Amino acid sequence: MSKLSAERPIGVFDSGIGGLTVFSELARRMPEENLIYFGDTAHVPYGSKSKDAVTRFSLAIARYLTSKGIKLLVVACNTSSALALPELKKALKIPVVGVIEPGARAAAAATRVGRVAVIGTEATIRSGAYVSALKTQSPGIRARALSCPLFVPLVEEGWWDRRVTLDVAREYLSPLKGSGIDALILGCTHYPLLKRTLTKVMGSRVKLIDSAEQTASETAELLDELKLKRSGGPGWRTFYASDAPDRFLRIARLLGIKAKSVKLHSFDA
Ligand code: DGL
């Protein structure tokens, strides 16, 4: 670890654009850090794929980013964090931060009644990763988990506030109405973009837990601890996509990311 210089970038990846919610938070929290983002737009969605496929894609991206000299990897994808984090940690010689533990920590701290729900992709929910992370944080916690597969395509379409999205959310979340939860983990990178719609359905008493903020603050603490924090002026940002970089750039700008260009890096895994 000692050879790693603070000047080296932080690598961030997701199956596509969703991880930009985590990227934005990292950039806001640590403007001086150099950041490389990789969106695997050729293989998105991960949420309906097998553990084997998600692990292969994640490892290939991690190797590519380490070839760029990153000092730390943020797995800004819930599905990849749920299915591939142990393999990534084993394969890499740098620190690897996922989004699930920070999200579970934030939810365990936020609930007053000890009842929490998590929503995510099919693969994330099937893995049970959030429920077990919540139980590790707080053994007595009561947790429910629901997959909401239509949310990702609705977000990708830009239909964050549409009537159809509200109807879909009402349908998916109906088992949670009257369940007594007071915290809902948005266990998928796309879901923070649906906050308004989700609040309309769940009411303002249910806190929406977005792991991006907690992940960024834990990443900052870790860099500090490892003496790897960069200081000085604003850091640079570089973006890669494994397919259709122009589409990626368009959506990134819609999300308020000031990206000048997106480079193409395709890979087989
Ligand atoms: N990035 C994924 C996640 O956070 C959502 C999109 C996908 O299914 O690939 O789970």
155 or 57: which leads in pLDDT: 57
- Whether the per-residue pLDDT at 255 is higher than 90: the answer is no
Q: Domain locations in the chain?
A: 3-98+213-264, 100-211
Cβ atoms of 46 and 57 closer than 8 Å: yes
Domains 3-98+213-264 and 100-211 fall in the same CATH topology: yes
The topology under which CATH files domain 3-98+213-264 is Rossmann fold (3.40.50)
Q: What is the rounded distance in angstroms from the CA atom of residue 57 to the CA atom of residue 82?
A: 14
100-211 classified as CATH 3.30.413.10: no
Does residue 45 have a cis peptide bond before it, meaning omega lies within 30 degrees of 0?
A: yes
What ligand 1 atom has the least distance to the C-alpha of 14? Answer: 1
- Whether the per-residue pLDDT at 1 is higher than 70: the answer is no
* pLDDT tens, residue by residue, 136-170: 999 999 999 999 999 999 998 889 999 999 999 99
- Whether the per-residue pLDDT at 2 is higher than 80: the answer is no
* pLDDT tens, residue by residue, 164-220: 999 999 999 999 999 999 999 999 999 999 999 999 999 999 999 998 999 999 999
Reported confidence tier of residue 35, pLDDT bands at 50, 70, 90: very high
Which of 13, 15, 20, 242 to mutate for ligand 1's pocket (most ligand atoms within 8 Å of CB)? 15
Specify whether the backbone of 203 is left (phi greater than 0), alpha (psi in -120 to 50) or beta. Answer: left
Reported confidence tier of residue 4, pLDDT bands at 50, 70, 90: low
